[in-house]
Amino acid sequence: MKEREHYGLGTAISMIVGICIGSGIFFKADDILAETGGNVWLGIMVFVIGALCVIFGAITLSQLASRTTNRGGVVSYYEEFVSSRAASAFGWFQLFVYFPTITAVVSWVSGIYTLSLFGLPASLELQTLLGFFYMTLFFAMNYFSYKSGGRFQNVSTIVKLIPLIGIPLLGLFWTRGAPDLPQGVELVETSQVGWGWLAALAPIAFSFDGWIVSTTITQEVRNHKKNMPIALTVGPLIVLAVYLAFFVGMIAIVGPEYVLSAGDQAINQVGYSLFGASGERILLTFVLIAILGVVNGISLGYIRLPFTLASKGMIPFSGVLTKIDHKRELSPTSAVASYLITVFWMGMHYLTQRFDVLRGGDVSEIAIVFSYVAYIILYLKVIQLAKQGVIKNVFLGRVAPVLGIVGSLIILLGGLFANPLYSPIFLLFSAVVCGMGYWYVVSSKHTLTEKR
């Protein structure tokens, strides 16, 4: 079935910007500052390192995006440039681990900020229930109306940029001292952390992650061979500029020790400091819309993935999953399958948070780290294409992929520093899921043509 080109360059860029910006920067900024001991300049350096890891990786993958006609984003890159078995392995990881863990965690975060906005008790159960509601809403919306999903993505991206640009602009002229801590909040002072700052790379990876989701709609982007490389390059650069401005602006208004002490609630005080009693609610409204834009963007890409893998014969029940609702141009079974997998991970996330299994982290962070490690195979393939003369530009074919590989290894190191006990276990689990995908294609009765 030939894909219709629903989306333009603007939607592709806003999907990258909209997914990256909207969750991580609001509830990971305090984690990043904590891992750097409150050292603002060190925090800025970590942001830049994380951005470079993403930017060079995105530039590298843009060379593959412009040379493929297959649907499926990164899965299609594996299929066309490595092998169908490798594509199935990575596809299973994306289907069963990567997409659903991120969707579940960001949906949960939207529940956190909804309760904060309305001043309701912030119990884990209520946060999770609200997250489940938002998750269900956006899965349904993106299935029943692709236009609504695309429009909400564009609108939410614009809305979220208002506070992210406004706060740093106001921070430039801020002259008041740091506010007093709320009652019951203990002061956390700045400290020296040594090499412990490497642990900040795990939340940084989460904050910048999301750009890769845009590749799932490559074939639905008009003139995608030209527009997707542009989107994959411009999007992360916009994210870096906005993140640095917001991070510095927030600290200028409330101070590093307030952020260290208040954690996620520091954003509430920023709103209060700027606009008074009503400012807190105004800012939280912007934040909530921003995070909902992330949930929308991820679900928009995820509901297509089971169909994509099924159309390549890479998962069971392919016959059912490839049946299309021609009115909506999507597979209803694919949408339901992705939704149910996410529901499962929402439950797993609740349990890990309830019993603090990941010690302050969440199930999505390690999945993101594993994905960066998996991209190394594709970076190496780009270097090979450069050696073969297919990619003639030295920077695009050699420098960018080498820096992308270095970036992936840095993020892996950061993930291990952040959670030395559970990171290896979860990384092994992700590898086992990949192995199952590889085994399925090898043992399948279907004959898949290897593309190298």
Q: For 125-164, what is each residue's pLDDT tens digit?
A: 999 999 999 999 999 999 988 778 778 877 887 887 788 8
4: pLDDT confidence band, cut at 50, 70 and 90? low
Confidence category of residue 1, pLDDT binned at 50, 70, 90: very low
Q: Classify burial at 393, counting beta carbons within 10 Å of its beta carbon; exposed 0-12, middle 13-18, buried 19 or more.
A: exposed
pTM for the model: 0.84
What integer is the mean pLDDT of 274-292?
87
Model pLDDT, residue 69: 72
Q: Looking at residues 293-311, what average pLDDT do you find?
A: 89
- Which pLDDT value is given to residue 362? 81
Could you tell me the pLDDT band of residue 381, with boundaries at 50, 70 and 90?
very high
Is residue 194 scored above 70 in pLDDT? yes
Lowest mean pLDDT, pick from 51-55, 221-225, 328-332, 390-394: 221-225
On the 0-12 / 13-18 / 19+ scale of CB atoms within 10 A, 400 is buried
Averaged pLDDT, 434-438? 97
Q: What is the pLDDT of residue 24?
A: 66
pLDDT of residue 333: 96
Give the percent of the chain with pLDDT over 70.
93
pLDDT of residue 110: 93
Least Cα distance to 321 among 312, 334, 309, 330 occurs for: 334
Q: Is the dihedral of CA 409, 22, 27, 279 positive or negative?
A: positive
Return the ∠ at Cα 302 (arms to 204 and 111), rounded to 5°: 60
The band of 229, judged by pLDDT with boundaries at 50, 70 and 90, is confident
The confidence score (pLDDT) of residue 193 equals 83
345 close to 131: Cβ distance less than 8 angstroms: no
Note the pLDDT of residue 103.
Answer: 94
Q: Is the pLDDT of residue 451 over 60?
A: no
pLDDT of 439 above 70: yes
| Residue extents of the structural domains in the chain | 9-441
Q: What is the pLDDT of residues 92-103, one digit of tens each?
A: 999 999 999 999
Percent of the chain with pLDDT over 90: 39
- Residue 181 to residues 26, 117, 178, 306, 335, Cα–Cα distance (Å): 19, 19, 9, 48, 45
pLDDT at position 210, please? 67
With bands split at pLDDT 50, 70 and 90, how would you rate the model's confidence at 3?
low
pLDDT exceeds 50 at position 452: no
Architecture of domain 9-441: Up-down Bundle (1.20)
Among 1-5, 93-97, 261-265, the range of highest mean pLDDT: 93-97
Structure tokens at 332: 């209803």
- Position 115 scores a pLDDT of 93
